[in-house]
């Protein structure tokens, strides 16, 4: 398979695309790396003048991404745009996946009108996640809309729902909301596959067996997760706060990568 090259790439979205919790070269104190940076590094290796922007900010809702990031990407006119948003909306009670889909479709239409290739994502199946699995039907409805939008506008689709390697907790951070470095590596490999770009990594991960966890141990882990991670997240939402308040995108402009 020959290499597909892109001269520029703009990544839009929330914490998933910002790269939480995949530490960059500077370690925990510096900007996160994440799947988008990993893909950009691969694209830069194929195209010497490749330029990359990452406008994603943790905590952003779909409407905020559409309002704040999509117009900037339209202005930039990159060859490739990734748009993954809506996960934070789906975690909120009473969200409307049909209304979300209409908003997403309008954004995709604007991006495709620039001539850019657009990369869309389904999310990971939440059936293994306490609390979140209760909203599995809502998640599924929205991601079926995403698939339809990708088909309607001729977008590339990264289907994380079918990635069995992401169903293992070893691909996730302790908060169970953000992937760790291994999870981001798997997603980057899947994106490269969808784009037709050769990649040394394989997204079809088969994890080795792990120690059996008793039901009691699992319940204790779930209680600790609710106390340490889910509870603080809910409190922030009730107070109208976000983990991304006051944060700017890590790469607000198209620029060359230092490899």
Higher pLDDT, 171 or 229: 171
Lowest mean pLDDT of 50-64, 99-113, 219-233, name the range.
219-233
The predicted structure's pLDDT at residue 225? 78
244 part of a folded domain? no
CA 89, 94, 95 angle in degrees (round to 5)?
Answer: 35
Band of the pLDDT at 29, cuts 50, 70, 90? Answer: low
Of 58-72, 100-114, 166-180, 222-236, minimum mean pLDDT range: 222-236
Give the number of domains in the chain.
Answer: 1
**C-alpha–C-alpha distance, residues 205 and 183, integer Å:** 10
Domain of residue 42, residue span: 8-204
Cα→Cα distances 124→66, 137, 160, 188, 190, Å: 22, 13, 5, 14, 13
CA–CA distance from 91 to each of 84, 129, 210 (Å)? 15, 12, 29
* pLDDT higher than threshold 90 for residue 44: yes
The reply to whether 140 falls in a domain is: yes
Which CATH number characterizes residue 125's domain?
3.40.50.1110
Q: Is residue 226 part of a domain?
A: no
The whole model's pTM is what? 0.92
Specify the higher pLDDT residue, 208 or 25: 208
Where is pLDDT greater, at 38 or 245? 38
In a domain, 2, yes or no: no
Q: Within 13 Å of residue 224, how many CA atoms lie on the same side as its CB? A: 9
Residues 159 and 191: their CA atoms lie apart, in Å, by: 9
- Whether residue 1 lies inside any domain: the answer is no
- Domain assignment present for 170: yes
Percent share of the chain, pLDDT over 90: 71
**Taken in order 113, 87, 252, 238, is the CA torsion positive or negative?**
positive
pLDDT band for 1, please (50, 70, 90 cuts): very low
DSSP helix/strand/coil, 17 = helix
Backbone angles phi, psi at 107, to 5 degrees: -65, -45
In a domain, 238, yes or no: no
Give pLDDT tens digits for 228-239: 877 787 777 677
Residue 89 counted as domain residue: yes
pLDDT at position 215, please? 85
Is pLDDT above 70 for 168? yes
Q: How far apart are the C-alpha atoms of 249 and 85, rounded to whole Å?
A: 15
Mean pLDDT computed over every residue of the chain: 91
Q: Answer with the residue of higher pLDDT: 230 or 104.
A: 104
């Amino acid at each position: 398979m020959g290499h597909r090259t892109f001269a520029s790439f703009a990544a839009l979205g929330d914490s998933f695309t910002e790269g939480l919790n995949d530490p960059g070269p500077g370690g925990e104190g510096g900007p996160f790396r994440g799947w988008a940076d990993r893909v950009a590094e691969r694209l830069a290796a194929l195209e010497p003048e490749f330029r990359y922007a990452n406008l994603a900010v943790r905590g952003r809702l779909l409407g905020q991404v559409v309002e704040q990031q999509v117009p900037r990407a339209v202005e930039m006119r990159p060859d490739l745009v990734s748009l993954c948003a809506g996960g934070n909306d789906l975690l909120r009670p009473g969200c409307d996946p049909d209304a979300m889909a209409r908003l997403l479709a309008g954004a995709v239409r604007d991006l495709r009108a620039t001539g850019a290739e657009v990369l869309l994502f389904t999310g990971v199946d939440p059936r293994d996640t306490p609390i979140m699995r209760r909203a599995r039907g809502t998640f599924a409805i929205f991601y079926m809309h995403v698939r339809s939008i990708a088909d309607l506008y001729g977008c590339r689709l990264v289907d994380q729902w079918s990635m069995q390697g992401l169903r293992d907790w070893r691909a996730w951070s302790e908060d169970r909301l953000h992937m760790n470095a291994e999870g981001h590596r798997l997603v980057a490999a899947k994106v490269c596959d969808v784009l037709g770009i050769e990649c040394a990594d394989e997204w079809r991960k088969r994890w080795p067996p792990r120690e059996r966890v008793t039901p009691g141990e699992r319940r204790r882990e779930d209680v600790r997760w609710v106390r340490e991670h889910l509870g603080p997240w809910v409190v922030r939402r009730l107070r109208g706060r976000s983990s991304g308040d006051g944060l700017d995108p890590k790469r607000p402009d198209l620029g060359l990568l230092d490899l």
